[in-house]
Structure 1
């Protein structure tokens, strides 16, 4: 334990270094191997401890930007919760090592079955943390560390979860080979070598060329932060000014970021008139975002504005951010932190409509801000026929932090995963245009008011990740939990048999 705790802490630091903004992707393999080594032979309490130590170091470092919005309390709460959940998720991995020990160090059950089970349990923890509580927070996923390396193409076949699984499986296989004799047992390297071969050689799934599409995209750098000093329509004015240099140039779609319009254009005639004029001058529909009231509810909504109300299309954010865009169980958290809860007046309702709009005959997939981290939003857009994606975001509450580049890593991975070009446009930066292979085509840096017009390739055809992704997400946890349960049952039967052999005359409970 004296060695395991500092090694777990070091593994947490290494995983943060492997993630954006540094993106030293090989360190993810070192981190996971160290983390798994600390769980071998551990008691349940010890597994909880070393897993939580890893989680504390990683999440408190990786998510330090959360405190930029409302101070240290939300940062401590989120990072602390994630660390505890990570620690709890270490216990099944320790049990897997304990119960596979019966197969012997060189047996297939240890060299192949053990690493696959451990990888399944790791991604089960990722999936659980990405879904609970309050829709979860699938931000810090192992597969995302590979976006800057040579390995992310496999995500187009099996998704980010599948990529996480393969990374852990390779690390667990290497660790098991070392435990089985290391260099004296070269045959034991075969499972790890197979995993590396899959990661290195599988190319990105080839989606089909479907023409081109020209997008104007504008980062207005207006006062979009929750506590920024501003007057009514300041965001609309800032976006309009940054758009003016693009007017008169040909484009198929003009894109503004999340929060680009600071009044409801459906109920504010002056705002609607200004948007009508802009769409006419641009000669293209305007994809904007605003807080919109409908049916007594408030939604974070992206609107395709053409000037014709009968043709209005919209998409509502699917996963409003808890404690940012709404407060779940407000009565309870008001008792714990009344001042903080009182500051958050937003109460956005989750959207249920398709994450896509149609411009002429081109379907554009959408994700609003943190919705980019939720697989189902992206897959739903692909299955709706998206030929490219537009991600609208507002990073103003996290100026000067790593939040925007971590989010951009997700945007790049989504391009690879779906084989589609992506326009990721922010209020204050960083905004990027991303090719279908994940490379960056154009960038506007932080705190800059600017715009650009980019002609992007359209793609058709669903990548395997968009088709089987939901099945992978369900099958891996199911197989891991069933496999661990069967091992536990075999272990119990074996221990009962040993008890009978040692004490043949002593009665035992059936």
Structure 2
């Protein structure tokens, strides 16, 4: 180790050889650390403790260079998602946040987490501007609070041995909570959804989307460790060149090389996971995309317009079959809201669907809005199996309506000052069972729209016997904004996670057929009338992820939280030791505040 009259770089007392810690000597101040603060420096205690917001603001002012880097890293993470698909940025963004929060106090880490999270969600969720930019900003602020807590956890656990492992576990914990709270959660922006056709993707077959998130976060944190160790090595070389210490031995490069090698191994680990694609049998399907009259909030237009579009496209399909241009399908799939009127209530809607089913001569899975049979004022979002002989039969009702999109929480209180809520005149009533439906010769699992983002709903559908998955969706409000591409990426990940082919049916696009290995085999253009016809493999085997369920997610999240709790315990344990170790404990205790 180098030692000199001015500075001395030493390894940390916690056994982490890659932790750069610079101890100031009386003759010189400590060199600045990456991000614009001084390593090892302790602030004098204030005369009185300021409020939490004031302390956070003070941290923000001191950390503005690091905050700028964190914000750029957040934007980079957003670019890892569709429609940009620059997935390596997801690893680099995690590495940047891990590097910036390394050795910080909890408050500093929280600020950097927020500086990272707000621009990330602002760019990722800009498709919500079709409703209003205030919605984009408001939801981005809410979601950034979760990353603010994550940033604090990353900073504090970075003082522990094996800190990249705890960092990855905390990413899983953050997503676990955000996927469920508040109001049922909002899973958009999970690291796994930026890695739906990458080397990490096969890991979904073992532990679902949470394991993919864990691997991406671990790879990024290991790169941060390598960068941190490399930065320390450079600092030691500079100190030696300036005559302030001895030149470090070559072995000092081992932590950086080792961490980078581990990151590469994690990144390639997915190639060792087999992805099942063999099919017991197949079924020939047709996916009808009838199109809408206009994009945006008012896509519905006049009643019967969208329904007639789908009837027209289905009748054209029947004509192509009769002329021998297309092979007869075994079943047809329509998207969510293909019938904009309740076919049980309005004879004209029922007659139109009957006409389409009779023309094609096979069952159609019809997406329709249906009045609740007993609760007045409520509507159900359903997929209905419509048979050419027996008419409407089994149905699935969406289990997870979207707050403020399909129902309004606290409607009476909020409607008094948010007039926009009038655009949701009736609340959707949730279903209470999975969507396993027999559609002709196929036992399909129906999942409606945003439900594809929720692990439990899709997993329960597969475990209930679905041999392939159908995502009935309606993205007309968000056409040409990137949102349909983001949702299609989720379908691709679910295919690998559950070993099932996935059909996405949308009235305005993107409609697609996805193979069990996640490959998008066919996809439509947006805002066009189109029909996809293809062979759909039907599979019965369940993946490991289906069998273990949410256990890996809870286990990884629990490990991360336990590591966080260990920080103050470890700090208190140090306070009774020798003088040098008391200094370390005081630093840890101060960081835990």
Establish whether TM, by shorter chain, passes 0.5: yes
1:264 aligns with: 342
Structure 1 position 357, deviation (Å): 0.7
Within 5 Å, give how 1:48-127 maps onto structure 2.
Answer: 48-68=110-130, 70-98=131-159, 100=160, 109=161, 113-127=162-176
Distance 1:310 1:403, change over 3 A: closer
2:6 aligns with: none
1: CA distance, partners of 2:88 / 2:258 = 24
1:230 aligns with: 301
2:192 aligns with: 143
Offset from partner CA, 1:350-379 (integer Å, 9 cap, x none): 211212211245310111111111111110
**Conserved in 2, the CA contact under 8 Å of 1:207 and 1:463?**
no
1:42 aligns with: 104
1:16 aligns with 2:116: no
1:134 aligns with: 183
Offset from partner CA, 1:170-207 (integer Å, 9 cap, x none): 221232234345671134555434423423x2234325
Structure 1 position 227, deviation (Å): 1.8
1:446 aligns with 2:533: no
**Conserved in 2, the CA contact under 8 Å of 1:207 and 1:462?**
no
Distance 1:167 1:10, change over 3 A: same
SS at match of 1:479: helix
1:212 aligns with 2:273: no
Distance 1:270 1:343, change over 3 A: closer
1:221 aligns with: 291
1: CA distance, partners of 2:440 / 2:578 = 72
Structure 1 position 8, deviation (Å): 0.3
Structure 1 position 255, deviation (Å): 0.7
> Which structure has greater helix proportion?
1
Offset from partner CA, 1:485-505 (integer Å, 9 cap, x none): 2343222222355689979xx
**Conserved in 2, the CA contact under 8 Å of 1:208 and 1:461?**
no
- The range that moved more, 467-476 or 488-497, is 488-497
1:105 aligns with: none
Offset from partner CA, 1:239-271 (integer Å, 9 cap, x none): 111112211631111111111001111222332
1:436 aligns with: 516
Distance 1:25 1:348, change over 3 A: same
Within 5 Å, give how 1:63-462 maps onto structure 2.
Answer: 63-68=125-130, 70-98=131-159, 100=160, 109=161, 113-180=162-229, 184-185=253-254, 186-189=257-260, 191-199=262-270, 201-206=271-276, 208-223=278-293, 226-228=297-299, 230-247=301-318, 249=321, 250-293=328-371, 294-296=373-375, 297-307=378-388, 312-335=393-416, 337-462=417-542
1: CA distance, partners of 2:115 / 2:478 = 26
Structure 1 position 230, deviation (Å): 2.3
**TM-score normalised by the chain length of structure 2:** 0.78
Structure 1: 5+ residue stretches without partners: 101-108, 504-510
Q: What is the number of residues matched between the two proteins?
A: 488
What is the RMSD of the two structures over their aligned residues, measured on CA atoms? 2.2
1:472 aligns with 2:552: yes
2: CA distance, partners of 1:230 / 1:146 = 37
Offset from partner CA, 1:99-126 (integer Å, 9 cap, x none): x1xxxxxxxx3xxx32111101111101
2: CA distance, partners of 1:46 / 1:322 = 33
**Conserved in 1, the CA contact under 8 Å of 2:575 and 2:581?**
no
SS at match of 2:121: helix
Offset from partner CA, 1:10-64 (integer Å, 9 cap, x none): 1111111111111111111111100111111222222121111111111101101
SS at match of 1:88: helix
Structure 1 position 473, deviation (Å): 2.1
**Conserved in 2, the CA contact under 8 Å of 1:372 and 1:410?**
yes
1: CA distance, partners of 2:179 / 2:149 = 15
Offset from partner CA, 1:65-116 (integer Å, 9 cap, x none): 1121x22221121111111221122111111113x1xxxxxxxx3xxx3211
- The range that moved more, 248-257 or 7-16, is 248-257
Structure 1 position 218, deviation (Å): 0.7
2: CA distance, partners of 1:207 / 1:412 = 14
1: CA distance, partners of 2:260 / 2:116 = 27
